[in-house]
A = this chain, B = another copy of it.
Amino acid sequence: MSTHSSQPTASEIATLSARAIAKGVASGVLSAEEVTEIWLERIAAVEPALRSFIHHAPEQARALAAVAPKGPLAGVPFGIKDVIDTADMPTEYGSAAYPGWQPCRDAPVVHLVRRAGAVVMGKTVSTEFATAAPGATVNPFDAARTPGGSSSGTAAALGAGLILMGLGTQTSGSTIRPAAYCGVAAMKPSPKLIETFGVKPLSATLDVVGPMARDVRDLALLVSVCMRRPELSPDELVPESVLPLKPMGLFLPVHDPVADFAPLDRAASVLGSVTAQVAPDWWEGLGVAQDDVFSWEASASLSVDRDLHWNELRSETHAFMERQQKGSFAQWQAGIAARDQALADLDALFGKADFLLTPSAPGEAPLGHARTGPATYNIRWTLLGCPSVTIPAGFGPAGMPVGIQLVARPGEDAALLRQAAAVEDALRAAGIEARPKSRAEGV
């Protein structure tokens, strides 16, 4: 049995990783209730300015902690995007059209996370229906800037240290981009590997659940639970030792004069064994293809909201819906065909590498809150079903966190996570990370 003197102090606990918390709670070295109180205090202090939760549930979190959770996520403070169904908390899908709506069951991915012992602190802010209209959340590193979206709340709460893990979703760039803007790690998995049931739907082809965490090893732990694959847990996949760094392609799309590639160049110079990769001629066209697939599918998925609840929806959502209404089945077919042709020619994209390094976003989080930033560097990977991970990679010229995106072929999620951990290790060894001690307090 552990003695009182061997237990870490509250300020020591506050610096622990999610995996260390979970091991401590599961083994009885840490008290889930003590852990929960530490994070509830931090939420109470920071949340009023950050506005990352749409529904914060301290009493429910205390009740979860009181049952001494077991499992690989035991006691980990957790946030769930408001577009994902929860049986014990309202799920408003970021919209005034669903006031106080209470689903009858957890989405399967929520159930898996709960069963693993996570302590859900609340529902985090989403743009309306995970599309265009932003919520009230600000960026934890600069309140004058967007946290990104649509998974705004999960990204901001992680960046500010109000939770240690959370769930987002992505149809265009809604997980990778906000994570990069908020200095945290996140994964867009290959399709079908994490159930999307119980998520407010946009596109059956594109929608994925996006696990988010503070670093890649914590991310691997969460992914292993969401995918029901214990072999992806950090102990199995990415032990805390030097990992071999495999060759990568450096993929810098050309047609973006406003993008800042300096963070990626800096990372690449540290990493070595990176070969510049030229975009195949079909690359640009995949942007239109993604939009065509999204438009046709979402105009069915959102048809109830558009037809019956138009007046309750935000003006940005109106604009989004009206644009998507112009999509056609023929365009959808063309988009799917473009995707399938690209998938048959994937070697032209990856070259001899198994991984590509590319920006997570065009730059740092933009100033203002009217928009959540462009998904330029995300939409094509989402269409292709290529898994990607955003890795915190230091700060940009405005002092805001930046991320780099590592991409693999569809289905290579395990190899991707392992390589991402090796990349993160190498960046940290070079002093490049988005969470230096002096910034860790956030907001």
Contact = CB atoms under 8 A, between A and B. Distances in A.
A289 to B, nearest CB: 14
Interface stretch (A51-59, A97-105, A279-287): A97-105
Contact of A301 (B197, B205, B411): B197
Interface string A391-415: 0000000000000000000010000
Interface residues of A, number: 32
A410 B388 CA distance: 28
A227 B98 contact: no
A111 interface: yes
A205 B196 CA distance: 12
A108 interface: yes
A307 B201 contact: no
Contacts of A304: 87, 105-106, 108, 111
Contacts of A297: 192, 195
- State the number of copies, please: 2
Nearest to A87: B304
Nearest to A195: B300
Interface in A63-93: 87
Interface string A102-120: 0011101101100100000
A136 to B, nearest CB: 24
A205 B192 contact: yes
A204 interface: yes
Contacts of A201: 108, 195, 197
Given A204-B197, A229-B329, A329-B228, A303 B108 contact: yes
Interface string A216-253: 00000000000111000000000000000000000000
Contact of A112 (B104, B204, B303): B303
A337 B54 CA distance: 41
Given A192-B205, A300-B195, A329-B228, A104 B111 contact: no
A312 to B, nearest CB: 13
A79 B71 CA distance: 44
Nearest to A305: B105
Contacts of A109: 300
Interface string A286-328: 0000000000010111011101000000000000000000000
A101 B103 CA distance: 10
A300 to B, nearest CB: 5
A374 B307 CA distance: 41
Contacts of A101: 104
B195 A307 contact: no
Interface in A178-205: 192, 195-197, 201, 204-205
A101 B411 CA distance: 37
Nearest to A205: B192
B111 A303 contact: yes
Given A228-B300, A228-B329, A301-B108, A307 B196 contact: no
Given A104-B101, A201-B197, A329-B228, A300 B112 contact: yes
B301 A195 contact: yes
B105 A227 contact: no
Contacts of A106: 304
A227 B329 contact: yes
A227 B329 CA distance: 9
Contacts of A303: 108, 111-112, 115
Interface string A245-277: 000000000000000000000000000000000
Interface of A: 87, 98, 101, 104-106, 108-109, 111-112, 115, 192, 195-197, 201, 204-205, 227-229, 297, 299-301, 303-305, 307, 329, 333, 411
Instruction: Give 3 nearest A-B pairs by CB, closest first.
Output: A197-B201, A111-B304, A195-B300
15 contacts: A98-B104, A101-B104, A105-B304, A108-B304, A111-B303, A111-B304, A192-B204, A192-B205, A195-B201, A195-B204, A195-B297, A195-B300, A197-B301, A228-B300, A228-B329
Given A108-B300, A111-B307, 5 more contacts: A98-B104, A196-B204, A228-B299, A228-B329, A229-B329
